[in-house]
Structure 1
Amino acid sequence: MHEQEDLLTRCAERGLIPDALLRIGIRRLCAIRLAEERVGGMDATCERQRARIDELRGSPIAIETDAANTQHYELPPPFFQHCLGARLKYSACYWDDTTPDLDAAEARMLELYENRAQLADGQRILELGCGWGSLTLWMAARYPNARITAVSNSAAQREFIEARCRDGSLDNVDVMTIDANHLDLGEESFDRVLSIEMFEHMRNYEHLLQRIGSWLVPGGKLFVHIFCNRTLLYPFESAGDNDWMARHFFTGGLMPAADTLLHFQKDVSIEQRWLIPGTHYEKTANAWLQNHDRNRNEILKVLGNAYGSENASLWNQRWRMFWMACAELFGYRQGGEWLIAHYRFVRR
């Protein structure tokens, strides 16, 4: 069985399987994942979820941080400039009937963060996992009297954001490059901490939220955006060595359940939670794929420099498969199974 799966994967990575069939196969894998996670019925599923919550409490804050860098964050910025929207928001965007394109969807989600995190000028703001700076640069421009500290695991991202700050004459941003396990902010304190699709790379939420709580001023608030499953918490490597996503794009990653963070309220307390259908991520990933295919020749050059010219076509197709996998996962069952969740916590 594994040999057959490996053969199909190799054919897919060589571009020998049409996209439409690939998407059917991805949806089939989604159904298999759900069936495996729910085997034994409700009682068995609840017991597995309880055990995984306990396991998180005994884990390091983050694992496989070097893999995350290699797989995503240290790729040259031009790759993402060819695929993402104008603000390089490498996370779910917000779409409705009035959203014309990816650039507008990026802005809509950033505006949502602004409102739900209750941002204001003059605040001291910490962004954990700042990516290519979409939110940091947005906040810096809109709140010139705020002081923003952006934290990334990637030197390439820090250099990119610093260059954007110089180009935009933004002098209210400090960027740090550090592994989340070793982040030490000393005596600094913040009115707001925001994190967008970083918690999925974390494990020990109890320790992480304790540290965040210690960085918040009294009454300070934490805003978190994650992707999640409606009810299931699971690590990506749980499917074993044949988990293509874990191997190439999300080593050490975690799929939280929509209520996972609510189990860790010792140091911060939930004020409000919002759930957004996965179709917003589906549309985002499909837009990234469209941009990718539109800029194929330029992307092949970038991937050739990153992975070697002999591997450019292979990685071009792997990235296409990654965009399709994200789109089909979050579009599954009309976006009602895998979701986007927003949380606003307040320091206890």
Structure 2
Amino acid sequence: MISAHGVAGTLADLVSTVLGDELPIRFRCWDGSVAGLPDAPIRLTFRHRRALRRLVWAPNELGLARAYVSGELDVEGDFVDTLTGLYRLISDGSLRAELGWAARRDVVRAVARVGAVGLPPKPPAEEIRLTGRIHSTRRDARAISHHYDVGNDFYALVLGPSMTYSCAYWDDTAGTLERAQIAKVDLVARKLGLTEGMRVLDVGCGWGTFVLHAAREYGVRAVGITLSQEQARFARKRAAEEGLADRVEIRVQDYRHVPDGPFDAIASIGMAEHVGEAMLPTYGRTLFDLLRPEGRLLNHAIAQNPLVPPRPDRTSFISRYVFPDGELEPLSVVIGALEESGFEVRDVESLREHYGRTLRAWVANLDERWAEAVRLSSPGRARVWRLYMAASALAFEGGRIGVNQVLAIKPGEHGASGMPATRAALLSGRWPGIPHMSR
């Protein structure tokens, strides 16, 4: 590192001592000092000494997140590129999540020299820690509200006109995010073999994109359930405006409390991540019981790479700021839970690279209208979203997490499936002779 006077010089010397020379990082600090490689790809601005205090008390991703969300630590240049550089340093072993005692002593001394010693600062208002029994209906409702009731205008800015908050499907026709999201919900509809008159349940319906598409393009009668009041209001308004209110019903309802099965098909798109491993058997049995024989479930969910264990809740930015109580399970765990519930798994498709591209599109939407995003939410909330989406894009692109569509059926009499003979026929949406409910 190239040293300088002032706070930045102290930080540069500390980094050189603790982590090694010539790291590609440049510091700019609250006293106006600058230090580090002039052309460094990673350029960090410490706007307040509290950022250092946060890192002393939490020398991990949580400390970094608190400093960034609070506005005390900032990034110069492209945000995703900066995170890419930091991740490469971490994965190469240049940066360590846990420091030894000698390194910690040097950190404390350096922080003392720049006047940043003190008690741990209060976490930003955007951080949450839930109470009560995990995955109880009340606690799940609070967790969903924390993430989804940010404001529909804010989500529209980030997600774009489709208001679809899950991985898009970038096929040959999807030149824009909007087209890619429509391609995704249509892919789900084709895999479910939707035909006119079917009765369909969408578990975790979000702002209603799938149920509206299914009703409009396939003539089904759809029920969408969500735990978010704001999502429900928005989806009902969309249904009314599109003249689909007679075929689309939106409920604020837990999946465990749906009383009026059976359904011909069930879609669960980006919802299973909220269920938790302990509740997966309940999730699988509940959806199994809500389907008619030969009915189909499309479970679209993010999966944890089993070779890359998730961070514990106490240091996880995602758990504290984005998805409280959210749990990512390996694909094998999800498939096992579905099979143990009685489902027969018939098709699995990975869309991992598609999600990285989707997240980058969302980050671009946010950055393009940053001032408006801050006005619609708060500076801290906008920063949470930028950090969360950029980091998630890198996680998908690096293979640390994935996303999969699992198609499963509830076997009929004597094991009948109603499935087409080939995968090509499945994806074409042409399912010959499939009976459905006539309610």
Report the TM-score when normalising by structure 2.
0.65
Residue 59 of structure 2 is aligned to residue 4 of structure 1: yes
Q: What's the offset of the Cα at 1:27?
A: 5.6
SS of structure 2 residue aligned to 1:255:
coil
Deviation at 1:7? Answer: 5.0
Q: Which has the higher contact order (CA 8 A, sep 6+)?
A: 1
Amino acid at match of 2:223: T
Q: CA deviation at 1:68?
A: 2.7
From 330, 336, 339, the equivalent of 2:396 is 330
- Find out whether 1:345 has 2:408 as its counterpart: yes
SS at match of 1:120: coil
1:72: Cα distance to partner? 2.0
Q: Take 1:108 and 1:125, find their aligned partners in 2: how far apart are those partners?
A: 19
The structural deviation recorded for 1:206 is 1.3
CA distance in 2, matches of 1:77, 1:255: 26
Which residue number in structure 2 is paired with residue 56 of structure 1?
A: none
Please say if residues 135 and 325 of structure 2, whose CA atoms lie closer than 8 Å, have aligned partners that are also in contact: no
Q: 1:31 to 1:151 in 2, by over 3 A?
A: farther
1:193–1:222: 8 Å Cα contact kept in structure 2? yes
The corresponding residue for 1:224 is: 299
1:11-66 Cα shifts (integer Å, max 9, x gaps):
4332512323233334666889xxx9xxxxxxxxxxxxxxxxxxxxxx85778413
How far apart are the structure 1 equivalents of 2:92 and 2:143?
A: 26
Q: Distance in 1 between matches of 2:365 and 2:379?
A: 17
Partners in 2 of 1:166 and 1:342 — Cα distance?
30
Letter in 2 for 1:21: T
Q: 1:31 to 1:114 in 2, by over 3 A?
A: farther
Match of 2:226 among 152, 163, 180: 152
Give the one of 147, 156, 174 matched to 1:99. Answer: 174
Q: 1:168 aligns with which of 226, 231, 242?
A: 242
CA distance in 2, matches of 1:30, 1:126: 42
Residues 175-214 of structure 1 deviation map (CA, whole Å, 9 limit, x = unaligned): 1102344x1314x311001100111100212122111111
Which residue does the alignment assign to 1:21? Answer: 82
- Map of 1:21-170 to 2, 5 A cutoff? 21-26=82-87, 64-96=139-171, 98-144=173-219, 146-170=220-244
Give the structure-1-normalised TM-score: 0.80
Query: 1:240 deviation in Å?
Result: 3.5
The Cα shift of 1:269 comes to 2.3
Give the letter aligned to residue 379 of structure 2: S
Amino acid at match of 1:295: R
Q: Select the structure of larger CA radius of gyration.
A: 2
Offset at residue 172 of structure 1 (A): 0.2
After superposition, the Cα gap between the structure-2 partners of 1:232 and 1:85, relative to the gap in structure 1 and judged at 3 Å, is: farther
Are the equivalent residues in 2 in contact too, given 1:233–1:257 (CA < 8 A)?
A: no
Tell whether 2:364 aligns with 1:290.
yes
Name the CA distance, whole Å, in 1 between partners of 2:382 and 2:301.
Answer: 26
- Displacement of 1:293 in angstroms is 1.3
* Alignment match, 2:326: 253
**C-alpha spacing 1:243/1:2, structure 2 compared with 1 (3 Å):** farther
Secondary structure at the aligned position of 1:176 is classed as strand
3-state SS of paired residue (2:366): helix
Instruction: Give the Å deviation of 1:227.
Output: 1.1
**Matched letter for residue 83 of structure 1:** V
1:270 paired with 2:326, answer no
Amino acid of the structure 2 residue aligned with 1:3: A
Indicate the SS of the match to 1:221.
strand
The more displaced of 91-100 and 219-228 is: 91-100
Q: Does 1:190 align with 2:263?
A: yes
The answer as to whether partners of 1:152 and 1:176 remain within 8 angstroms in 2 is yes
Question: What amino acid maps onto 1:169 in structure 2?
Answer: G
Deviation of residue 267 (structure 1)?
3.4
Tell me the amino acid that sits aligned with residue 396 of structure 2: F
**1:201 matched to 2:274:** yes
User: How many aligned positions are there?
Assistant: 308
> Once the two structures are superposed, what CA deviation does each residue of 1:91-124 show, in whole Å capped at 9, x if it has no partner?
0001246531111111221121122122111101
> Is contact 1:275-1:339 (8 Å) kept?
no
Structure-1 separation of matches of 2:90 and 2:176: 29
Q: Could you say if the C-alpha distance between residues 61 and 27 of structure 1 is closer, same or farther in structure 2, counting changes exceeding 3 Å?
A: farther
Alpha-carbon RMSD across the aligned residues, in angstroms, is 2.6
2:405 partner SS: strand
Secondary structure of the residue that 2:59 maps to in structure 1?
Answer: helix
Runs (5+) with no aligned partner, structure 2 = 1-55, 98-133, 412-439
Q: In 1, are the aligned partners of 2:346 and 2:409 still within 8 Å (CA)?
A: no
Cα offsets for 1:253-312 (capped at 9, x unmatched)? 111112112212233323323232422111101100111111222211111xxxxxxxx2
For 2:408, what is the secondary structure of its paired residue? strand
Partner of 1:215: 290
Which amino acid in the other structure matches residue 208 of structure 1? Y
Partner Cα distance (2:270, 2:251) in 1: 18
Provide the C-alpha distance between the structure 2 equivalents of 1:218 and 1:286, rounded to a whole number of angstroms. Answer: 40
The amino acid of 1:256's aligned partner reads E
